[in-house]
Amino acid sequence: MLQLVFRYQAIYLIFAGFTVFGLLLHFYSRKKKWIKINTQFADLITHNRMPSYCNLDRLMMTFEHFSIQQIAEQLNLSLPILLNELSQAQINITDSHRTLRENFPLNDEKIFAAITIALKVRFNPTLL
Domain of residue 23 covers 1-53
- Do 38 and 66 have their domain in common? no
- Do 1 and 60 have their domain in common? no
* pLDDT value at residue 118: 93
Q: What is the value of pTM for the model shown? A: 0.58
- Do 4 and 45 have their domain in common? yes
- Do 41 and 102 have their domain in common? no
Residuewise pLDDT in 10s, the chain (128 residues): 556 566 778 888 899 999 999 999 988 888 877 887 888 788 878 877 776 666 777 788 888 899 999 999 999 999 999 999 999 999 988 888 999 999 998 888 899 999 999 999 999 867 55
* pLDDT value at residue 33: 78
Q: How many domains would you assign to the chain?
A: 2
- Do 8 and 49 have their domain in common? yes
Q: What is the DSSP string of 17-65?
A: HHHHHHHHHHHHHTHHHHHHHHHHHHHHHHT-SS--S-HHHHHHHHHTT
- Do 19 and 65 have their domain in common? no
- Do 74 and 15 have their domain in common? no
Q: How many C-alpha atoms does 88 have within 13 Å on its Cβ side?
A: 10
* pLDDT value at residue 20: 95
Enumerate residues 6+ apart whose C-beta is below 8 A from 128.
Answer: 85, 117, 120, 121
Domain boundary residue, one of 53, 72, 95: 53
- Do 69 and 112 have their domain in common? yes
* pLDDT value at residue 2: 53
